């Protein structure tokens, strides 16, 4: 959302300044090791060791997942954060071998070696490949774990060719190698951000507008170490379950290091060796996204502006008259009365329920913002309730903590207290009773204005805790309470919450956007690897403000940004107060048409996107996924950060540089079909893709079936199509390929009770023979209206196929037949002519179908 902005241009640091930033390393001069292992005790789940004055615990969760813990003052903190949510699985088989020099914990997938004199750790897979190894100093002394007071540092070995991924929302390259990072949720555009947050190790030559600024809004202490050899790339994941301020140093030669300013060492080790397996294990530990309502996947319109209800109606009318699909209109802080949360402005919105009902008649839903800052004003019911119920944050002395945000002097809910979350949920439930569909939570780093946050303290189980322990978790807990309030208001409906800040596990409660970005090419470029990193950090529902929040884009940038944003998981227009209008129609007729086409493409793809969201909710897989996720053994795929897969089957290559009408795209192994032209490409190589201003390079993966609507609806509200289109991209190579289609009512939790249709497709090619089988599961749902399927074949120009043994006529690669969610099998014969690039009638049919 917005802050008090520093409108001066950010100066680009010199090379000398940049090297200074890289040298800002973690100083562990005064830190000390634990000492020797004094005693060992095998437990039901692993191992307990006495090391110096502390204890070390090894818990085996799965054959390829360990939890490592080190006590403080001899005691373990079993709930260091609110990030985890899993039920402890039964202990898998493991063995413990004790020798004079080391003790080894071995499972079917890994071996953990613990040196005794002195204590050190290393883990390897069953094939001997390294998961991690503690580093040693020049004298050979281990320095894997060092401590000082309540802080600790972990240092491990790293080879020259290794890569580092993860850490959630970070600027810069997708591969984190070569940079250092801080984890401290930060309102990046506050002009005094570095001073207020005591980030002395940050690069003070940068402003929050810089594409190299760090830290950012969301802190996720999950990272991946990718080790490469001549033969393979192997990935291990590491989640440090600690909410204190963290620092990660990936710039050194021969080692990486991380440090936390407080809290205990608790680390989950995911052996991999593939990124996919490590992420799925992490999301088992921290939870997965709940399936969202389908309208949340649509196009959203927002602006920081003091709209009236009539002005909002007028914007919605423009969308409908201009034939630009849109599902949701948003209200920023101007809808409130004096920025008092859970109020409506008396003249701008004199009758909120009636206003919202009228929007619904035009098939729009409404989302409103809610900030955590509660105006300190006796007589204001929210403040009075919070103070009376003792659910607002206090200082060490017991006084009310006061910050200064939009309403002026503000108090903040103590979301660490269950009673505070219950109270907040009740406020949310009352607020959405007016008809509000979802909630946007902002300023929840927490941002406290020009007043430092450190006097804000938190109460857990009656004990006072410093601000630093829960600062990074504040947004997570606010999202939890907000989601619970929505669920209380409509128990059988799916919730939608959008959060600016977050911590590990935020995906359980909220979608996120990338915060206050700038309308320039550099921020468009940055949004791609930043969103991909959030995806592999457990948050699949992510996107950036279109066409940038701060400042004014050129028409070309506006066009390129919507093309990219329409093919990201979250798609929202949003711009800042005082800037010129930045609606799709604000940049002239040519750009309006480009925006219309881009958003209509998103809406035609909604069956495919909706299915991808359900798959993500089940597996933890990202929706926008870096190429390394599916092609880890391909070096060029690992190095690609300016293109990505949307779901399993669409490769998106945004144009993020001004003046470009073509761009270089790496296509991994397989068959790839240009979405716009039907041209076929053999993967494993770079191509030069045409990219005129009116389209984004987009490629479909051979072997996959992509379900779409026949045409783009203006809204998902009430959209129950009788026809679906299946785009079948036949591969040039032999193989078996799986795709899926999920259909349900799009709104309720009835799917969890079996009210859905899920069609599993299997496309098989063996030489000249190809077949498609479809197997449907689920009990169906009352809103289901589909009566037919239209299949558009890409790469097949024959005249006949068989459906369950019955011949069907194919016209220009298209066949249509009745299908109300029944199983079916298609058989077709291919020859060399069927594998050539699309021409003539097929290309004409392709254009009509797309």
| Pairing verdict, β 365-370 and 438-441 | parallel
What separation in angstroms does the CA of 250 have from each of 231, 243, 488? 24, 20, 44
Decide: 601 and 566 in contact? Cβ < 8 Å.
yes
| Pairing verdict, β 571-573 and 624-625 | unpaired
Per-residue pLDDT of 293-346, as tens digits, reads: 999 999 999 999 999 999 999 999 999 999 999 999 999 999 999 999 999 999
Q: Is the pLDDT of residue 610 over 70?
A: yes
Beta strands in 612-768 (DSSP E): 624-625, 644-646, 650-652, 662-667, 671-674, 680-682, 685-690, 698-701, 705-709, 723-729, 735-743, 757-766
Any catalytic annotation for residue 442? yes
Q: Which residue has the higher pLDDT, 662 or 202?
A: 662
Q: Is the pLDDT of residue 836 over 50?
A: no
**Model pLDDT, residue 195:** 60
**Model pLDDT, residue 344:** 98
**Model pLDDT, residue 196:** 57
What is the spatial distance between Cα 271 and Cα 506, in angstroms, rounded to a whole number? 23
- Percent of the chain exceeding pLDDT 70 equals 94
Q: What single-letter DSSP state applies at residue 80?
A: S
- SS3 string of 774-832? EEEECCCCCCCCCCEEEEEEECCCCCEEEECCEEEECECCEEEEECCCCCEEEEEECCH
Per-residue pLDDT of 571-602, as tens digits, reads: 999 999 989 999 999 999 999 999 999 999 99
**Model pLDDT, residue 204:** 67
| The length of the chain, given as a count of residues | 850
Question: What contacts 496, CB < 8 A, 6 or more positions away?
Answer: 292, 293, 295, 296, 367, 437, 438, 439, 486, 511
**Model pLDDT, residue 838:** 40
Q: Is the pLDDT of residue 11 over 50?
A: no
Q: Which of 203, 516, 674, 714 is catalytic?
A: 516
Say whether 603 sits in a helix, a strand or coil. helix
Q: How sure is the predictor about 469, in pLDDT bands with cuts at 50, 70 and 90?
A: very high
**Model pLDDT, residue 242:** 98
On the 0-12 / 13-18 / 19+ scale of CB atoms within 10 A, 306 is middle
Q: Is the pLDDT of residue 844 over 50?
A: no
**Model pLDDT, residue 231:** 85
**Model pLDDT, residue 199:** 55
Q: What single-letter DSSP state applies at residue 469?
A: H
On the 0-12 / 13-18 / 19+ scale of CB atoms within 10 A, 728 is buried
What is the spatial distance between Cα 89 and Cα 46, in angstroms, rounded to a whole number? 13
Q: How many degrees, rounded to 5, is the angle at CA 341 between CA 336 and CA 343?
A: 50
The 3-state DSSP composition of the chain as helix, strand, coil percent (nearest 5) reads 20, 30, 45
Q: How sure is the predictor about 433, in pLDDT bands with cuts at 50, 70 and 90?
A: very high
- Percent of the chain exceeding pLDDT 90 equals 90
In the chain, what is the straight-line distance between the N-terminal and C-terminal CA atoms, in Å?
Answer: 35
Mean pLDDT of 34-54: 97
**Model pLDDT, residue 198:** 58
Q: How many degrees, rounded to 5, is the angle at CA 528 between CA 526 and CA 534?
A: 100
What is the spatial distance between Cα 409 and Cα 392, in angstroms, rounded to a whole number? 14
Q: How many degrees, rounded to 5, is the angle at CA 365 between CA 442 and CA 758?
A: 100
Any catalytic annotation for residue 642? no
Mean pLDDT of the chain: 94
Q: Is the pLDDT of residue 12 over 60?
A: no
Residue matched to tokens 């959630």: 168
Partners of 152 in the beta sheet?
147, 260
* pLDDT-wise least confident of 208-217, 239-248, 701-710: 208-217
Question: What contacts 354, CB < 8 A, 6 or more positions away?
Answer: none
What separation in angstroms does the CA of 731 have from each of 424, 770, 836? 53, 10, 11
Residue matched to tokens 């279109």: 546
Q: Which of 445, 641, 745, 842 is catalytic?
A: 445
| Pairing verdict, β 545-546 and 571-573 | parallel
What is the spatial distance between Cα 585 and Cα 318, in angstroms, rounded to a whole number? 9
Per-residue pLDDT of 669-691, as tens digits, reads: 999 999 999 999 999 999 999 99
Alpha helices by DSSP H, 322-411:
352-361, 381-388
**Model pLDDT, residue 845:** 46
Decide: 647 and 707 in contact? Cβ < 8 Å.
no
Residue 646: what are its φ and ψ, rounded to 5°?
-100, 105
Residue matched to tokens 């795209």: 665
Q: Which of 133, 332, 442, 592 is catalytic?
A: 442
Per-residue pLDDT of 769-807, as tens digits, reads: 999 999 999 999 999 999 999 999 999 988 899 999 999
**Model pLDDT, residue 206:** 80
Mean pLDDT of 286-298: 98
Q: What single-letter DSSP state applies at residue 240?
A: E
Decide: 291 and 198 in contact? Cβ < 8 Å.
no
Mean pLDDT of 144-165: 97
Any catalytic annotation for residue 385? no
Partners of 106 in the beta sheet?
95, 111
Torsion sign, CA atoms 553, 528, 501, 328: positive
**Model pLDDT, residue 130:** 98
What is the spatial distance between Cα 834 and Cα 793, in angstroms, rounded to a whole number? 10
Q: How sure is the predictor about 127, in pLDDT bands with cuts at 50, 70 and 90?
A: very high
Is the omega angle on the peptide bond into residue 446 within 30 degrees of 0, that is, cis? yes
């Amino acid at each position: 959302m917005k802050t008090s902005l520093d409108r001066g241009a950010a100066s680009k640091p010199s090379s000398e300044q940049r090297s200074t930033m890289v040298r800002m390393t973690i100083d562990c001069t005064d830190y000390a090791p634990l000492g020797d292992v004094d005693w060992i005790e095998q437990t039901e789940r692993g191992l307990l060791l006495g090391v110096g004055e502390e204890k070390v615990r090894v818990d085996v969760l799965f054959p390829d997942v360990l939890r490592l813990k080190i006590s403080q003052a001899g005691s373990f903190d079993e709930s260091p954060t609110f990030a985890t949510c899993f039920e402890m699985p039964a202990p898998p088989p493991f063995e413990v071998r004790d020798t004079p020099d080391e003790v080894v914990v071995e499972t079917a997938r890994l071996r953990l070696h613990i040196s005794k004199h002195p204590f050190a750790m290393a883990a390897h897979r069953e094939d001997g490949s390294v998961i991690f190894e503690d580093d040693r100093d020049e004298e050979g002394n281990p320095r894997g774990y060092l401590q000082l007071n309540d802080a600790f540092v972990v240092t491990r070995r790293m080879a020259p060719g290794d890569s580092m991924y993860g850490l959630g929302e970070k600027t810069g390259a997708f591969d984190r190698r070569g940079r250092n990072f801080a984890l401290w949720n930060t309102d990046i555009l506050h002009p005094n951000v570095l001073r207020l947050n005591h980030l002395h190790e940050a690069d003070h030559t940068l402003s929050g507008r810089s594409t190299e600024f760090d830290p950012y809004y969301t802190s996720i202490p999950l990272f991946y170490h990718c080790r490469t050899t001549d033969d393979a790339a192997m990935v291990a994941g590491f989640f440090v379950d600690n909410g204190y301020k963290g620092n990660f140093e990936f710039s050194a030669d021969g080692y990486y290091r991380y440090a936390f300013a407080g809290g205990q060492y608790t680390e989950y080790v995911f052996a991999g060796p593939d990124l996919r397996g490590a992420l799925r294990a992490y999301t088992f530990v921290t939870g997965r996204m709940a399936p969202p309502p389908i309208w949340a996947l649509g196009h959203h319109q927002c602006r920081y502006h003091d709209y009236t209800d009539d002005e909002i109606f007028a914007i919605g009318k423009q969308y409908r008259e201009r034939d630009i699909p849109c599902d949701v209109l948003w209200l920023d802080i101007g809808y409130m009365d004096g920025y008092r949360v859970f109020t409506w402005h008396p003249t701008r919105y004199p009758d909120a329920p009636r206003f919202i009902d009228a929007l619904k008649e035009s098939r729009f839903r409404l989302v409103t913002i809610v900030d955590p800052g509660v105006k300190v004003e006796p007589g204001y019911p929210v403040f009075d309730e919070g103070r009376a119920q003792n659910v607002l944050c206090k200082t060490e002395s017991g006084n009310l903590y006061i910050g200064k945000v939009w309403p002026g002097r503000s108090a903040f809910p103590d979301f660490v207290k269950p009673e505070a979350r219950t109270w907040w949920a009740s406020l949310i439930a009352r607020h959405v009773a007016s008809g509000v569909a979802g909630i946007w939570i902002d300023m929840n780093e927490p941002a406290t204005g020009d007043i430092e946050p450190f006097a804000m303290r938190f109460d857990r189980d009656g004990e006072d805790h410093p601000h630093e322990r829960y600062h990074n978790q504040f947004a997570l807990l606010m999202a939890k309470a907000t989601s619970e309030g929505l669920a209380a208001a409509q128990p059988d409906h799916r919730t939608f919450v959008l959060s600016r800040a977050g911590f590990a596990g935020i995906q359980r409660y909220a979608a996120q956007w990338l915060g206050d970005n700038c309308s320039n090419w550099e921020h468009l470029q940055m949004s791609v690897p930043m969103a991909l990193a959030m995806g592999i950090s457990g948050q699949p529902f992510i996107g950036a403000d279109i066409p940038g929040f701060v400042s004014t884009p050129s028409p070309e940038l506006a066009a390129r940004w919507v093309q990219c944003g329409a093919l990201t998981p979250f798609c929202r227009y949003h711009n800042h107060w005082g800037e010129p209008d930045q609606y799709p129609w604000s940049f002239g007729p040519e750009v309006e048409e480009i925006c219309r086409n881009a958003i209509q493409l998103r809406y035609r793809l909604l069956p495919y996107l909706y299915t991808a969201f359900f798959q993500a909710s089940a597996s933890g897989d990202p929706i926008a996924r870096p190429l390394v996720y599916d092609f880890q053994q391909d070096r060029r795929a690992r190095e690609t950060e300016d293109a990505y897969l949307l779901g399993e089957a669409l490769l998106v290559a945004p144009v993020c540089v001004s003046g470009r009408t073509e761009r270089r795209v790496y296509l991994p192994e397989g068959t790839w079909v240009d979405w716009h032209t039907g041209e076929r490409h053999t993967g494993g190589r770079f191509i030069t893709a045409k990219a005129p201003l009116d389209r984004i390079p987009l490629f479909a993966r051979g072997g996959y079936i992509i379900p779409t609507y026949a045409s783009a609806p203006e809204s998902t509200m009430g959209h129950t199509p009788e026809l679906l289109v299946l785009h079948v991209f036949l591969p040039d190579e032999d193989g078996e390929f799986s795709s899926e289609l999920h259909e349900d009512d799009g709104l309720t939790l009835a799917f969890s009770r079996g009210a859905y249709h899920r069609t599993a497709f299997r496309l098989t090619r063996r030489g000249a023979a190809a077949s498609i089988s479809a197997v449907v599961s689920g009990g169906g749902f009352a809103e289901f209206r589909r009566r037919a399927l239209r299949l558009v074949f890409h790469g097949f120009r024959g005249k006949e196929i068989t459906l369950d043994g019955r011949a069907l006529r194919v016209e220009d690669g298209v066949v249509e037949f009745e299908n109300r969610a029944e199983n079916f099998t298609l058989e077709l014969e291919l020859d060399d002519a069927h594998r050539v690039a699309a021409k003539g009638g097929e290309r004409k049919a392709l254009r009509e179908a797309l």
